[in-house]
Structure 1
Amino acid sequence: MKRPSRRFVPRLTQSLLRPVPPERAPMVFRTDAPPTAAARDYPLETMRAVAVFLLVAYHAIGSGPMSGLELDYPHPLRLFADFLIDLRMPFFAFIAGYVYGLRPIALGDYGSFITGKFRRLYIPGAIAATLMMIMAGLLGSGSARTWADFWQVYFFPYAHYWFLQAILLIFVFFGALDMALRGRFTAVLLVLSVVPYLFAGFIPSNVMSINAAIYLLPFFLLGVVFIRHLPRIAQAAPWLIGLSVLVVIVATATNLSLLRASGELSLQRYDVQSLAMGLAVCMLAMLTLPRVARFEALGPYAFTIYLYHVFGTAGARDALQAFGITAVTPIFLTSIVCGIALPVVLHRLSERWGLTRRYILGKKR
């Protein structure tokens, strides 16, 4: 078998950085273009279902020993929740970028594009956050806010809703830049986004979760690059899979060494290890995950699950504990089931009326 030339890898890198010419990528800036058959072959919906499950499981466990199941190290579920910090939100950001790549902003359509994203993301998120604040206030939980601080939830990070503010900011700024560049240089922008990522958190006023937007941007851009350079990525898949596996091994070993030294996994998001792990696993998931029909069935409900799963996880945990059930396993499993089932029921009920479709689900009509 003929060995690849030593110059193959540099040529491959150059080809991946070179944007797809418009005549070879008819989907760019055509919002009416359907996904290609090749794009449908990739396990996007399976990846979305995995991301939803990981998020629901995380909130079923809790963010630390003072929340959720109140588990600390070395409990396996605490290790599970903290180890996956570099996967959960990067998965969602990658998916958002991939979907944007399929239906990018059209030239001259910036206003309606942003209005649509505001209606789809911000309004349902604000309503869900309001309901969560009210419930937290009634129950006296750690997510409660005073009436004087109530307004801040709509402009600053609150619970897991920070993601919606951050991804909306990405659409606002990247959408304008992408339109100006006519879909070119996305891979270059991905490389450049690493610099602010490593300094994310430096902006003192985290209005609209701007620091989180900087954190999510590389993963979002990877999703856009994936769809825009799909033929080249498919051709280089064996190389990319091998490289991604190597990066995951190194990043995991780095994290485990910290666990051995300090007794805890890294919860730092703005470092090289987290960036490398997130990018590599996103790439690996898209290139290796099988398409699972039962997972893909959750796709239509993913956004509603994201918004309202905490009502199911917290409600199930509190109900079981009120009945004297304190064992971790039944509470954990029941919380996951309720965290998915409750939003699915809410989604199906909301589909029946125009107002709830618009304001609960964020749909146009």
Structure 2
Amino acid sequence: MADPIVDRERLNSVRGLACLLLVANHSVAGAVAVVGPESLVLVTLFEQAFAPIRMPLFSILSGFIYAMRPIGAGKNGAFLKRKIGRLLIPYFTTAFAIIILKNIVGHKEPCRLDCMAQYAIYPYNHLWFIQSIFIIFLITSAVDRYFYKHTERACVFMLIFSCALYFSPLRNIDIFSIGHAFYLAPYFLTGVVLHRHLEAISNHFDRIIWPAIMLCVMLFSINFYALSSDGIITHNNAVELILGMAACTLLLIKFPASRPLTQIGVFSYSIYLYHTVFVSLANQLTLSIHAMFASMANRLTVNIYLLFALSMALGVFGPICIELAIRRYAPFLGFVIGERLKMAALRPPFRWREG
């Protein structure tokens, strides 16, 4: 299909935007932890106001790309094997690496065998998304296999059903991030529906784009007003669900291609896995430098905006450097970024991938 909506460069631009929102969230939270609670308003802005878009955008992208390459007939085993290699193995290796690094720098965290088994069952830090999306992949592919003659209608019914379960007590299940899967499912299935009904949506999109934008602005205003009044929003209300689905749909369909964002987006998985390591590194560097010079100037303070910029830079480009190094020098470690690399990857020089 030659529709520009499925243009790989533009999709990677949306991925890049999602990465920036994610890294910004943890960068702001880390910066406030270093500077102090006087800048708590920044945490509120990034962590709460953009919550309806941040992880839902990753999820709708996952659903859209899944629909581009759905499970084929007789490919059940290969699909499961591919998802285990792409999702679960990087989950365990990243969690283990983060725990080891935390212990090295003095943030003691249990790394006994029983604790590691617990991390395999329950979500670990930001990696909950990987467990949740793995469950969603399994369920969606199972429905596609069972209703292989009616996948277009089946995904619509699944979307409606998932929206109902979004408000259910099942959201409270912590085991293997099942509760988070019910949170992400409506957005994932929105991406699937968008791709499978792409022609019909494209034909009518120009007529509904401005009402959709107005709806997003209105819902964002309502959401932000509730945030400013109560200080926190639980992510199980209809306003946030509709806002996330509408805003992410607009971004997926109409967000323009951007070469810088595309270059970031092709490394989105590595950025997701390892960005917190480099954000923490930025905080540690800042604290160390501040401690060195604090004795010289009693009033020396940490500039939260400079720290935020440093965290963003390291959080985005640090994981990119890791992936480039693995591809260039250690392709046998490709499993830590969810890929099977051949030794031929040693030969070409460094270059940005086009996705």
Q: Normalised by the shorter chain, which TM-score bucket?
A: 0.7 to 0.9
TM-score after normalising by structure 2: 0.85
The CA distance in 1 between the partners of 2:119 and 2:64, in whole Å, is 28
Any idea what SS the aligned residue of 1:298 has? Answer: helix
Deviation at 1:243?
A: 3.7
> Aligned in 2, Cα 1:72/1:281: closer, same or farther, shift over 3 Å?
farther
Name the residue aligned to 1:27.
none
Q: Would you say the 8 A contact 1:79–1:265 is kept in 2? A: no
Name the residue aligned to 2:52.
86
For residues 3-50 of structure 1, the C-alpha deviation after alignment (integer angstroms, 9 at most, x for no partner) is: xxxxxxxxxxxxxxxxxxxxxxxxxxxxxxxx6454434831111001
Specify which structure has the bigger relative contact order, considering alpha-carbon pairs within 8 angstroms and separated by 6 or more residues.
2
Indicate yes or no: 2:28 matched with 1:52: no
> Aligned in 2, Cα 1:83/1:225: closer, same or farther, shift over 3 Å?
same
Deviation at 1:103?
A: 0.4
Deviation at 1:73?
A: 6.6
The CA distance in 2 between the partners of 1:356 and 1:165, in whole Å, is 21
The CA distance in 2 between the partners of 1:74 and 1:187, in whole Å, is 41
> Aligned in 2, Cα 1:254/1:201: closer, same or farther, shift over 3 Å?
farther
Deviation at 1:71?
A: 4.3
Name the residue aligned to 1:342.
318
> Aligned in 2, Cα 1:135/1:227: closer, same or farther, shift over 3 Å?
same
Any idea what SS the aligned residue of 2:281 has? Answer: helix
The CA distance in 1 between the partners of 2:162 and 2:30, in whole Å, is 28
The CA distance in 2 between the partners of 1:68 and 1:219, in whole Å, is 34
Q: Would you say the 8 A contact 1:124–1:362 is kept in 2? A: yes
Name the residue aligned to 2:94.
128
Name the residue aligned to 2:126.
160
The CA distance in 2 between the partners of 1:166 and 1:172, in whole Å, is 10
TM-score after normalising by structure 1: 0.83
Deviation at 1:239?
A: 3.6
The CA distance in 1 between the partners of 2:218 and 2:30, in whole Å, is 25
Name the residue aligned to 1:259.
227
Deviation at 1:253?
A: 2.6
> Aligned in 2, Cα 1:349/1:245: closer, same or farther, shift over 3 Å?
same
The CA distance in 2 between the partners of 1:249 and 1:127, in whole Å, is 40
Q: Would you say the 8 A contact 1:193–1:218 is kept in 2? A: yes
The CA distance in 1 between the partners of 2:30 and 2:96, in whole Å, is 21
2:268 to 302, 316, 321: 302
Alignment of 1:1-365 (within 5 A): 36-41=2-7, 43-62=10-29, 67=33, 70-71=36-37, 75-141=41-107, 144-145=109-110, 147=112, 148-182=114-148, 183-185=151-153, 186-199=155-168, 201-202=170-171, 204=173, 206-262=174-230, 264-266=231-233, 268-324=234-290, 326-352=302-328, 353-357=330-334, 359-365=335-341
For residues 40-95 of structure 1, the C-alpha deviation after alignment (integer angstroms, 9 at most, x for no partner) is: 34831111001000111111112896x46554676345313321111111000001
Name the residue aligned to 2:344.
none
Name the residue aligned to 1:16.
none
> Aligned in 2, Cα 1:121/1:70: closer, same or farther, shift over 3 Å?
farther
Q: Would you say the 8 A contact 1:64–1:72 is kept in 2? A: no
Query: Once structures 1 and 2 are overlaid, which stretch shifts more, 218-227 or 191-200?
Result: 191-200
Calculate the aligned-residue CA RMSD, in Å.
2.2
The CA distance in 1 between the partners of 2:25 and 2:35, in whole Å, is 10
Q: Percent identity?
A: 26
Name the amino acid aligned to 2:279. T
The CA distance in 1 between the partners of 2:252 and 2:171, in whole Å, is 32
The CA distance in 2 between the partners of 1:112 and 1:246, in whole Å, is 44
Q: Would you say the 8 A contact 1:197–1:270 is kept in 2? A: yes
Name the amino acid aligned to 2:324. R
Any idea what SS the aligned residue of 1:236 has? Answer: helix
> Aligned in 2, Cα 1:202/1:228: closer, same or farther, shift over 3 Å?
closer
* Greater fraction of residues in helix: 2
Gaps of 5+ in 2: 291-300, 342-355
The CA distance in 1 between the partners of 2:171 and 2:47, in whole Å, is 26
Name the amino acid aligned to 1:223. G
For residues 253-289 of structure 1, the C-alpha deviation after alignment (integer angstroms, 9 at most, x for no partner) is: 3223323433x242x1121122111101111112331
The CA distance in 2 between the partners of 1:87 and 1:335, in whole Å, is 21
The CA distance in 1 between the partners of 2:140 and 2:169, in whole Å, is 17
Question: Aligned pairs, how many?
Answer: 325
> Runs ≥4 in structure 1, deviation > 6 angstroms?
none
The CA distance in 2 between the partners of 1:54 and 1:106, in whole Å, is 34
The CA distance in 2 between the partners of 1:193 and 1:102, in whole Å, is 21
The CA distance in 2 between the partners of 1:303 and 1:277, in whole Å, is 25
